[in-house]
Amino acid sequence: MIEFNKECLMDILKNQDYHFYMVIPLIFIGLYALYIKKFKYYNPIEKQEWDDRRSNVKRGNPPPSYPNGWFRVCHKNELQIGQSKFFKLNGRHITVFRGEDGIPYALHAYCSHMGANLGIGGKVKWNSCIECPFHGWSFDGKSGKCVNSEHLDEKQCTHHTYHDIKKMTKGSDNRYIKTCESGSPSQIQKFHVRQQNNLIYVWFHAKNVDPYYEPFEINEIPYLEDRGETADYVNCQIQEIPENGADFKHFEYVHYAWIEILFPWIKFKWVPKDRKPTDKDFDEVMRTHPNKKVQAFSNKLFDKYTNEQNKTHINNLVLDAYLVFFDKFEFYIQTATVFQLGSGTVFLFLKFPLWEAVVVQSVTPVGKFNQLVHHKMYTSWWLPYWVSAYLLAGFRKQFISDKIVWNNKIFADKLTYNPKAVFDERLLNWREWYSQYYEGCDEFEKNQEAFDW
């Protein structure tokens, strides 16, 4: 504790010169300190209750539950050097650990020897390896191979098929245990991992195809600061959540702001546009914003985050927000440039007149009809903390309005679409785009049934 010297302060206050020069900056420093300490918005997931019975109950006629793509696993601070953790997500059981080299690795959760869980009590060693807590077998996070020493020489094992009684008849030696593949190296599945924007992502593909798009690196946007995160469980199929962005019509019914309730003569108006970078009329629709500064901001993002090879993995939206008074006078507030990236992430870049913000939405299936959804906020560092906390809380409030619908709906595969209504057409178009992430997932899910525990 710093002793507060009253007399000294009184001296300063009495002296008119000091009064002016000293007290005002002190007030600002005090306020700023308050922002730093108090106003980051988090809602810890541990405190949330959800009805587990709902998370495996089939809802309508949905696509597969576990699409291919990058999925958020945890915040980088939740995985310190030498730490290992167990995660059940997107239909897999994995262990994620941070090697002594500081790099995060992900492997199939179970040891190839006796099936012990590496993520629970596994010990990190030899830079990039994890040691099984049961009998000390070690696996290299870089390859998934079982290794013998710090030189990472491969362990040669005799494979046994244990107790697969159903498939076996007794051998000639009167035993049920069968020996096979003598001399081959022992290995478990390795997953690709990225640490980007303070988050750790793991790549899943039903056919184990290597990553074909990348989570965005937004640290290159200058002056952004990490300003908190929200977490919520939602009981629905994963697609329903990103699909919401392309479903323009629901804005009118589900989303409203407190200001509209307090002052019925004020309305929020959203003007949405959406195109995929592969669409022929992309430039015509998405690069013709009346405000030049806003357009330059969006253009920079379009150019940076998409190229010929990876543009099929993006769907872009541009949302202009206006305040409308008496249904007549419109005032422009801000524009959101949105990148739906692959199956599990959405990046919203917000340009306000005096500052910028990015909201990253990550959706991770933890059960078939149970999604863990995070919204992470980054803003320009000079934005007061209470403003960013207020914005993120407001963002979550809008999300909760959607969640009530999602939690209680079924996945309608044969909606009574009206193909002449432009909004329904966009929705169909969006569903077609997203379907690229289901390659091989049906088969995967059928084989994986036993893993849903």
Based on CB atoms, which residue is closest to ligand NAG, 139 or 302?
302
Residue nearest to ligand NAG (CB): 213
Based on CB atoms, which residue is closest to ligand NAG, 244 or 306?
306
Based on CB atoms, which residue is closest to ligand NAG, 144 or 342?
342
| Shortest distance, position 70 Cβ to ligand NAG, whole Å | 9
| Shortest distance, position 189 Cβ to ligand NAG, whole Å | 23
Distance CA 71, CA 18 (A): 56
Burial class of 194 by CB neighbour count within 10 A (0 to 12, 13 to 18, 19+):
middle
Based on CB atoms, which residue is closest to ligand NAG, 203 or 369?
203
Eight-class DSSP state of 52: G
Based on CB atoms, which residue is closest to ligand NAG, 128 or 306?
306
Residue 90, Ramachandran bin (φ over 0: left; ψ between -120 and 50: alpha; else beta): left
The neighbour count for residue 44, using CB atoms within 10 Å, is: 9
Nearest Cα neighbor of 383 from 259, 224, 273, 275 is 224
| Shortest distance, position 213 Cβ to ligand NAG, whole Å | 3
| Shortest distance, position 346 Cβ to ligand NAG, whole Å | 12
Distance CA 229, CA 80 (A): 19
Based on CB atoms, which residue is closest to ligand NAG, 85 or 275?
275
| Shortest distance, position 358 Cβ to ligand NAG, whole Å | 14
Residues found near ligand NAG in the complex (CB under 6 A): 213-214, 216, 305-307, 310, 313-314, 341
- Structure-token match 């927000």, residue found: 321
Distance CA 25, CA 6 (A): 18
| Shortest distance, position 339 Cβ to ligand NAG, whole Å | 8
CA distances from 185 to 122, 131, 138, 149 (A): 21, 17, 13, 14
Eight-class DSSP state of 442: H
Nearest Cα neighbor of 132 from 144, 145, 122 is 122
| Shortest distance, position 69 Cβ to ligand NAG, whole Å | 11
Dihedral angle, C-alpha 133, 130, 163, 182, nearest 10 ° = -130
Whether the CB-CB separation of 370 and 235 falls below 8 Å is answered with yes
DSSP 123-153: EEETTTEEE-TTT--EEETTT-BEESSTT-P
Based on CB atoms, which residue is closest to ligand NAG, 310 or 407?
310
Based on CB atoms, which residue is closest to ligand NAG, 99 or 215?
215
DSSP, collapsed to helix, strand or coil, labels residue 251 as: helix
| Shortest distance, position 278 Cβ to ligand NAG, whole Å | 12
Strand order in the sheet with 138-140: 123-125, 129-131, 138-140, 146-147
Eight-class DSSP state of 21: I
Please give the backbone phi and psi of residue 206, each rounded to the nearest 5 degrees, phi first: -55, -30
| Shortest distance, position 67 Cβ to ligand NAG, whole Å | 16
| Shortest distance, position 204 Cβ to ligand NAG, whole Å | 16
Is the torsion defined by CA of 235, 239, 242, 248 positive or negative? negative
Based on CB atoms, which residue is closest to ligand NAG, 139 or 213?
213
Based on CB atoms, which residue is closest to ligand NAG, 68 or 370?
68
Per the document, the length of the chain is 453
